[in-house]
Structure 1
């Protein structure tokens, strides 16, 4: 059973399953987040949807680069969670299946290429209150409890 975070499932609403992959990017006691301006301003773990036929690890590298401009080294998978939400950019009600990895930022290549995103370093303890969804916060807390 995969734990669910966030809003309750709306009875009668059809949700499309959308697998995604995200990273807790630690460097000491700071994490690299992405700040997404729209549809509502919020801090997030970098990552996103896995394209059809794309390997999840390749998707994670691509998404982190698009949203932060950094290359990464993946250390291990932390787990997964589900959340049900409306995605206004896609006009889609989605069941997001979010796989979370612990990774290290390696090198900044340039600014984020995804519109409306910026890379923001936060103290990990502060990120626990600023990340926009409960699943991200739970996996950051897990990573902080078990750093290696």
Structure 2
């Protein structure tokens, strides 16, 4: 059974499955996050939805580049979690299935191309208290406690 984080499920509400891929990107005691301005300003692990016909790893690379501008290498899946949320930008009640990876940030290619996103390097411990999503925090906390494997 996959762990669930976040908002309480709204009884009677239909949720559409929305798989996504997200990355913990550590370097020198810091973590590369994305700051999303809308619909609510918040820090997140870079990543997002997997498009129809797209592989999880292809989506991971695409989303990290779109949200941070960084090229990544050697992604390793560390787990997954679910969260149920209303996504106002898509007018969608979603069951988000979040696949979490740890990867190496290789180099910046350009500024983020996703509107309203900014790449932010943050000390790893500060990132724990800054991430808006409980699932993101749980996976980062586990990574920091046990380190790379």
TM-score range, shorter chain: over 0.9
Q: 2:53 and 2:146 mapped to 1: Cα distance?
A: 32
SS in structure 2 of the partner of residue 104 of structure 1? strand
Aligned length: 148
C-alpha RMSD of matched pairs (Å): 0.6
Q: Which residue of 2 is the match for residue 60 of structure 1?
A: 60
* Structure 1 unmatched runs, 5+: none
User: SS where residue 89 of structure 1 aligns?
Assistant: coil
Q: Following the alignment from structure 1 to structure 2, what is the Cα–Cα distance between the partners of residues 79 and 32?
A: 19
In structure 2, the partner of 1:48 is 48
Q: CA deviation at 1:116?
A: 0.1
The structural deviation recorded for 1:124 is: 0.5
- Using the alignment, how far apart are the partners of 2:79 and 2:14 within structure 1? 25
Q: CA deviation at 1:146?
A: 2.0
1:104 deviation in Å?
1.0
Higher mean alpha-carbon deviation, 27-36 vs 70-79, is at 70-79
Q: Residues 12-34 of structure 1, C-alpha deviation per residue, up to 9 Å, x if partnerless?
A: 00000000000000002100000
For residues 41 and 89 of structure 2, the distance between their equivalents in structure 1, rounded to whole angstroms, comes to: 14
**C-alpha deviations, 1:99-142, integer Å up to 9, x for none?**
00001100100100000000000000000000011000000011
The within-5 A match list for 1:63-142 is: 63-142=63-142
CA displacement 1:53-90 (0-9 Å, x = unmatched): 00100000000000000000134111000000000110
Structure 2, gaps ≥5 residues long: none
TM-score w.r.t. length of structure 2: 0.98
Please give the secondary structure, in 1, of the residue aligned with 2:59. helix
Q: Which has the higher mean CA deviation after the structures are superposed, 45-54 or 72-81?
A: 72-81
SS at match of 2:14: coil
TM-score by length of 1: 0.98
Report SS of the residue matched to 1:90.
Answer: coil
